[in-house]
Amino acid sequence: QVQLVESGGGLVQAGGSLRLSCTASGLTFTSYTMGWFRQAPGKGREGVSCITWSGSVTYYTDSVKGRFTVSRDNHKNTLYLQMDSLKPEDSAMYYCAADDMRYTTQMCQNEALVNYWGQGTQVTVSS
C-alpha cells in the first residue's frame, strides 16, 4: 500500500532551520505532484508548498516565501522542505501529501485533490 513517511521535525529556536523529508513507497513517485501542508492547534490545515513531478513548477503560501524551499529527489522517492528563518507562527504539524495531477500545484490550494497523506511530523519554534 501507499506510504508517505515524514521525518525531520523537532524543536528549534526562532531564526533557526529545519529540513523535513518525506519518503514515499507503494506509488510511482514521478506520477505525483507532492506537497507539504501544516496544521496548528485550533486552526485549519493549509497548503505550505507544492512541487510538480519534474520540479519545474512550485508553489509557496505567502507567509513562507523567501524562507522555505521545496525540492524532490525522484531517484530516492523523497520530498524535502528546507525551512529557514523559522518563526513561532510556523509551529504546526507538517503533513506530506501526494496528488496524481502531476503537472499542477493546485493541490496546495485545494486539499480535496490530495490522494494520499502522511502521518505528520511536529515542528515547534520557540521564541
State the Cα–Cα distance between residues 23 and 30, nearest whole angstrom.
13
pLDDT tens-digit series, residues 37-96? 999 999 999 999 999 999 999 999 999 999 999 999 999 999 999 999 999 999 999 999
Residue appearing with cell numbers 522517492: 77
Q: What is the mean pLDDT of residues 101-125?
A: 96
Cβ(5)–Cβ(76) below 8 Å: no
pLDDT of residue 36: 98
